[in-house]
Amino acid sequence: MTAEKYSCVTSLPYTHPQAQIMGTGMQGGALNTVDVSKMSLERFASVLPPRRFEEVRAGIHAARPLLAGRIVWNVSSTAHGGGVAEMLTTLLAYARGAGVDARWEVIGGDSRFFALTKRIHNHLHGFNGDRGALGESERAHYEATLASSGEALAAKVKSGDVVILHDPQTAGLIPRLRARGIPVVWRCHVGVDRPNELVRETWRFLARYVAAADATVFSRAAFAWEGLDAERVAIIAPSLDAFAPKNQLLEEAQVDAILAAAGLREGNGSDAPAAFMRMDGTPALVRRRARLTEERPLRHGERFVLQVSRWDALKDPAGVVAGFARFVAPHTDAHLIYAGPDVAGVSDDPEGARVVQRVRKQWAALPHELRERIHLAELPMADAEENAAMVNALQQAATVVVQKSLAEGFGLTVAEAMWKGRAVAASRIGGIQDQIEHGRSGLLLDRPRVLEEFGAAVRQFLDDASSAETMGTAARERVREHFLGPRSLLDYLALLGRLI
């Protein structure tokens, strides 16, 4: 048995060019600046339908005079790890390329603050998480942690600027900024279609902050909170960047080389370099290795099912492993790779290490013949673009991609796999059901907790290559039409234009 076969092999330090954090650490409510690059939207002329690209040009032309001389500040709780940071990295770069002075700040906090905000995150999905309270003691710590970040941010923002705050970690900043006359948009990336009392209780905890915002943004209409002013609610679906290291088209030899270099699959004997292109257009190589829990390496040519997610109980890694072991492995030759970030590299998710440990124990309890078919991968986070290239290679090599989440705000990994023409089976929850048209561009699981249903969907694709290819082709076109970056940018520009 070779659990944790590989350690994360380090090389010379590298700082992600689109997410270089400038500051003095993340503790005690410090505010840290993320260096945002500038990229031209003209590159999307090669991938967007012509009418869509003309809409982009027209939208930018209309927004420029309104935003001239103003700064659009974005504030989040982390610059790497998770879909929000990934979207901001590219969306803000394209905004700058379109002539918008978009900037990015990251708040800090202690372990208690991030445990609390993780609790809020779970509660907003309707799950009890650590079963902790959201009382006055928690409120006091939440507000105290954000106080210094609020003062630092208010000192930077000038008259005429706009601030976009992302997710519950930042909601407590709203009243302080509004008291100074600063227009504020609060963007919530999480939600549920059918809120329970736990969700509503958490809304009440956050409502005193959120109600003060000039506008609130949700990923889908069903996520908008009860009690908010409907006139100030906007719906903006997340999007992906077709040219980012996670989504750029790789040659088959590149895919093979990247997976081999990262230790995710045995090589095929080729001497092709594990090369990818960084966002700034410079070439780079995958050098670091993933930390793997496995009996043996995946061999070249072996089919595999893939889920890429944070180590979060709401992503249901335990259910993915159990469903594959019971209802897929006995009937097919496929393997499973569950790939998530190295938990040491994700600062705002204190539960990750505990989830990894539980899934490792679950894997270790399986019979040898099943352990041999299941691979748990922790991808290094030291270089965000290198990490993205590993995910890209995994998604492009996978036979089937799954997202068996129990709760999901949008599920950008679904759009990523669809963009690569993969056959995707995913839970009919949250924004996933906005992406996949069941039976046309993928398969939706009505009951994600029912492992037999999960296994049947995966086997349908494994057993019918023609159906998998047809749905994969339709999936790519759906993303091209609805979920590429310029669509979100236009929606944000339109919202800011209305506020101004």
Domain of 409: which CATH number? 3.40.50.2000
> From CA 109, how far away is CA 100, in angstroms rounded?
29
Question: What's the pLDDT tens digit per position in 326-383?
Answer: 999 999 999 999 999 998 866 667 788 999 999 999 999 999 999 999 999 999 999 9
Res 156: pLDDT: 95
CB atoms within 10 A of CB 458: 29
Which helix H or strand E contains 336, and what residues bound it? strand 335-341
Give the dihedral of Cα atoms 300, 329, 338, 297; nearest 10 deg: -30
Rounded to an integer, the average pLDDT of 140-144 is 97
| Terminal-to-terminal C-alpha distance of the chain | 61
Whole-Å CA distances, 351 to 118, 297, 497? 8, 27, 39
pTM: 0.85
| CB-based contact 468:400 (threshold 8 Å) | yes
Residues 431 and 340 in one domain: yes
Residues 137 and 257 in one domain: no
Buried b (16+ CB within 10 A) or exposed e, 228-242: beeebebebbbbbbb
Res 19: pLDDT: 43
Type of residue numbered 303: R
Residues 73 and 174 in one domain: yes
Residues 53 and 67 in one domain: yes
| Closest CA relative to residue 47, chosen from 494, 493, 482, 490 | 482
Res 347: pLDDT: 62
The answer to whether residue 245 is domain-embedded is no
| Closest CA relative to residue 384, chosen from 16, 88, 13, 38 | 16
Instruction: Provide the residue range defining the domain that includes 286.
Output: 252-482
pLDDT band at 86 (very low <50, low <70, confident <90, very high): confident
> From CA 432, how far away is CA 404, in angstroms rounded?
10
| CB-based contact 241:483 (threshold 8 Å) | no
Residues 72 and 198 in one domain: yes
Q: Name residues whose C-beta falls within 8 Å of residue 473's C-beta, 6 or more positions apart in sequence.
A: 421
Q: How many domains does the chain have?
A: 2
The answer to whether residue 459 is domain-embedded is yes
Helix (H, G, I), strand (E, B) or coil at 218: strand
Res 101: pLDDT: 97
| CB-based contact 100:128 (threshold 8 Å) | no
Res 348: pLDDT: 61
Res 345: pLDDT: 67
Res 25: pLDDT: 37
Is the pLDDT score of 16 beyond 70? Answer: no
Res 27: pLDDT: 43
Q: Which two tokens stand for residue 58?
A: 């027209």
Is the pLDDT score of 10 beyond 50? Answer: no
Type of residue numbered 73: W
The answer to whether residue 3 is domain-embedded is no
The answer to whether residue 244 is domain-embedded is no
Question: What's the pLDDT tens digit per position in 261-306?
Answer: 999 999 998 889 999 999 888 999 999 999 999 999 999 999 999 9
Q: Name residues whose C-beta falls within 8 Å of residue 365's C-beta, 6 or more positions apart in sequence.
A: none
Helix (H, G, I), strand (E, B) or coil at 295: coil
pLDDT band at 409 (very low <50, low <70, confident <90, very high): confident
Residues 181 and 221 in one domain: yes
> From CA 415, how far away is CA 480, in angstroms rounded?
10
User: Chain-wide mean pLDDT for the chain?
Assistant: 91
Is the pLDDT score of 26 beyond 80? Answer: no
Is the pLDDT score of 29 beyond 50? Answer: no
Residues 199 and 323 in one domain: no
The answer to whether residue 316 is domain-embedded is yes
Is the pLDDT score of 102 beyond 50? Answer: yes
How does DSSP classify residue 223?
G
Paired strand residues for 75: 105, 165
Type of residue numbered 77: S
Residues 117 and 199 in one domain: yes
The answer to whether residue 101 is domain-embedded is yes
Residues 130 and 277 in one domain: no
Instruction: For strands 283-285 and 291-293, give the pairing.
Output: unpaired
Residues 278 and 203 in one domain: no
Res 22: pLDDT: 45
Residues 221 and 292 in one domain: no
